[in-house]
Homo-oligomer: A and B are copies of this chain.
Amino acid sequence: MSGPSTHAFLKHIPLFSVCHEDELARLAERAIEQRYEKGQMLFQRGDPCQGMYVLVYGRIKIAIVARQGTEKVIEIIHPSQSFGEAVMFLEQPYPVMAQAVEDSLVLFIPAETLFTALDDDSRLARRMLAGLSMRLRTLLKDVETYTLESAVERVVGYLLNSLEGSDDNVVNLPVNKQTLASRLNLTPETFSRVLQKLSEQAGIVVEGREIRVPDRNKLSEMRNLA
Residues of A within 8 A of B (CB): 64, 66, 70, 72, 74, 85-90, 92, 95-96, 115, 118-119, 122, 125-126, 128-130, 132-137, 139-144, 146-148, 185
B129 touches A89 (CB 8 A): yes
**Chain B contacts of A92 at CB under 8 A?**
137
Taking A72-B148, A87-B133, A90-B130 as given, write out 19 further A-B residue pairs in contact, using a Cβ cutoff of 8 Å, ordered by the A residue number: A64-B144, A86-B132, A86-B133, A87-B137, A88-B133, A89-B129, A95-B137, A96-B140, A115-B126, A119-B122, A119-B126, A122-B122, A125-B125, A128-B129, A132-B136, A135-B136, A136-B136, A143-B146, A146-B147
B86 touches A137 (CB 8 A): yes
Oligomeric state, in copies: 2
Q: How far is the CB of A38 from chain B (nearest CB, A)?
A: 25
Q: Once the chains are docked, how many angstroms separate the CA of A35 from the CA of B137?
A: 27
Cβ 8 A contact of A147, one of B72, B129, B134, B140: B72
Which A-B residue pairs are the 4 nearest by beta carbons?
A86-B133, A89-B133, A125-B125, A132-B132
Q: Once the chains are docked, how many angstroms separate the CA of A64 from the CA of B137?
A: 12
**Chain B contacts of A139 at CB under 8 A?**
136, 139-140, 143
If the complex has contacts A146-B147, A147-B185, A148-B72, are A133 and B90 also in contact, measured as CB distance less than 8 A?
yes
